């Protein structure tokens, strides 16, 4: 029986809290929020809880959504220069008047625990969390056919890059890939990472290898008001990560791993 993601995360948090206890300095994460988004509030609560569970500090600095780009960058620079702060994240989304790309490069690469800066040494949290989980599961990456559905900057592209680094044969599919090609690549995949934001897109109409592993990144609000993934549950494969209780937890875990790393 493979370990559930909840069990894996609990085990890793336990290990991380022991590592934190052995440090001279408590890791400190600064979360900068400049929105009034309830989903962001929930994500932030989760990040603060994770940090406290491993014995780290998390500080939230909240600004109005109409803060200017210049003022927001000044706040980030203050944090870049503050020796008490080890890691910085700027919670998305930001107001439409702010260029996200400028904010991502304002965070010092040394403190960029989200892994968004082009010079960062950290892997972005969602792909990193997925690789850590698959490694724990004993997934033998080398020479395996990995299909990544979706090519966003925060999930699809960095996911493909990390899988390539692990010597997988990586195929990226996107909205312009024909259904016929999708069927072909999916049927030959040993690993499918789906991150497209389409409720239940991967379903029984596709064929899968019976030993295939499906990692479902999607978070979609269904008509039932609940959260659902990009894949329908219980597909005929070896492992399928659940939504909720799947990649979201792995992403949060990767963030505290990066925080600990930067503090060390
Ligand atoms: P995004 O920026 O919304 O982009 C979606 C990607 O999916 C695009 O590359 C798009 O292709 C592709 N796509 C859309 N429809 C498709 C289809 N029918 N077939 C194949 N590809 C299709 O993506 P994102 O930010 O990576 O988010 C994707 C999903 O993951 C969302 O549900 C999001 O909420 C969730 N998410 C979850 C976590 C987590 O921690 N669990 C983290 C991040 C994101 P084109 O490039 O051709 O338009």
* Residues 197-223 pLDDT 10s: 999 999 999 999 999 999 999 999 999
Same domain, 137 and 243: yes
Tell me if 184 is assigned to some domain. yes
DSSP 212-227: -EEEE---EE-TTSSE
Residue 139 has a pLDDT of 97
Same domain, 149 and 241: yes
Same domain, 129 and 240: yes
CB of 149 sitting under 6 A from ligand 1: yes
CB of 76 sitting under 6 A from ligand 1: no
- Based on the residue annotation, tell me whether 14 is a catalytic residue of this protein: no
Picking from 109, 144, 173, the residue at the C-terminal end of a domain is 109
With a cut of 50, list the residues of the chain below it in pLDDT: none
DSSP 139-206: ---TT-EEEEE---TTTHHHHHHHHHHTT-EEEEE-TTS-HHHHHHHHHT-SEEEE-S--TT-B-TTS
Ramachandran angles phi, psi of 91, nearest 5° = -70, 130
- List the structure tokens of 63: 């600004």
CB of 157 sitting under 6 A from ligand 1: no
Kindly list the distances between the CA atom of residue 230 and the CA atoms of 87, 213, 220, 240, in Å, as whole numbers in the listed order: 31, 14, 7, 11
Look at residues 249, 225, 254, 259 and name the one whose alpha carbon lies nearest to residue 59.
Answer: 259
CB atoms within 10 A of CB 229: 27
CB of 174 sitting under 6 A from ligand 1: yes
CATH of residue 143's domain is 3.40.50.720
Tell me if 174 is assigned to some domain. yes
CB of 150 sitting under 6 A from ligand 1: yes
CB of 175 sitting under 6 A from ligand 1: yes
pTM of the model: 0.96
Considering only CA atoms, give the Rg of the chain: 19
- The 3-state secondary structure of 169-185 reads EEEEECCCCCHHHHHHH
- Based on the residue annotation, tell me whether 216 is a catalytic residue of this protein: no
Q: Tell me: the pLDDT tens digits for 240-257?
A: 999 999 999 999 999 999
Contact 151, 172 (CB under 8 A): yes
Helix axes 125-136, 5-21, angle to 10 degrees: 100
CATH of residue 40's domain is 3.40.50.10860
CB of 178 sitting under 6 A from ligand 1: no
Q: Regarding beta strands 145-149 and 191-194, do their DSSP bridges make them parallel or antiparallel, or are they unpaired?
A: parallel
Residue minimizing CA distance to atom 39 of ligand 1: 248
> Of all residues in the chain, what percent carry a pLDDT higher than 90?
98
Host domain of residue 176: 125-248
Ligand 1 atom with the shortest distance to the CA of 243: 41
Ligand 1 atom with the shortest distance to the CA of 151: 9
User: From ligand 1's centre to the CA of 155, what distance in Å?
Assistant: 8
Tell me if 212 is assigned to some domain. yes
The active-site residue out of 86, 112, 114, 132 is 114
Same domain, 87 and 156: no
Pocket test for ligand 1, best of 197, 229, 254, 255 (most atoms within 8 A of CB): 197
Ligand 1 atom with the shortest distance to the CA of 155: 26
Same domain, 92 and 159: no
Residue 1 has a pLDDT of 64
What span, in angstroms and rounded, lies between the C-alpha atoms of 258 and 256?
5
Same domain, 131 and 230: yes
Same domain, 226 and 159: yes
User: From ligand 1's centre to the CA of 15, what distance in Å?
Assistant: 32
CB of 17 sitting under 6 A from ligand 1: no
């Amino acid at each position: 029986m493979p370990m559930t993601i909840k069990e894996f995360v609990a085990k890793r948090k336990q290990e991380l809290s022991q590592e934190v206890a052995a440090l001279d300095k408590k890791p400190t994460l600064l979360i900068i929020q400049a929105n009034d988004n309830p989903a962001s509030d929930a994500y932030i609560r989760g990040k603060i809880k994770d940090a406290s569970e491993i014995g780290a500090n998390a500080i939230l600095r909240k600004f109005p959504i109409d803060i200017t780009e210049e003022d927001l960058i000044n706040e980030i620079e203050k944090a870049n220069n503050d020796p008490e702060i080890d890691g910085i994240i700027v919670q998305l989304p930001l107001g439409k008047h702010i260029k996200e790309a400028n904010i991502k490069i304002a965070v010092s690469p040394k403190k960029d625990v989200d892994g968004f800066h082009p010079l960062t040494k950290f892997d972005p949290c969602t792909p990193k969390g997925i690789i850590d989980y698959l490694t724990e599961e004993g997934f033998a990456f080398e020479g395996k056919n990995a299909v990544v559905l979706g090519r966003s900057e925060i999930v699809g592209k960095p996911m493909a890059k990390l899988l390539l680094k692990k010597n997988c044969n990586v195929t990226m599919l996107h909205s312009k890939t024909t259904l016929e090609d999708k069927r072909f690549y999916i049927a030959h995949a040993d690993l499918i990472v789906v991150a497209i934001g389409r409720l239940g897109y991967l379903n029984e109409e596709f064929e899968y290898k019976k030993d295939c592993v499906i990692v479902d990144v999607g978070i979609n609000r269904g008509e039932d008001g609940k959260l659902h993934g990009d894949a329908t549950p219980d597909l005929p494969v070896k492992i399928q990560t659940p939504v909720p209780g799947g990649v979201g937890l792995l992403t949060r875990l990767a963030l505290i791993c990066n925080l600990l790393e930067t503090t060390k």
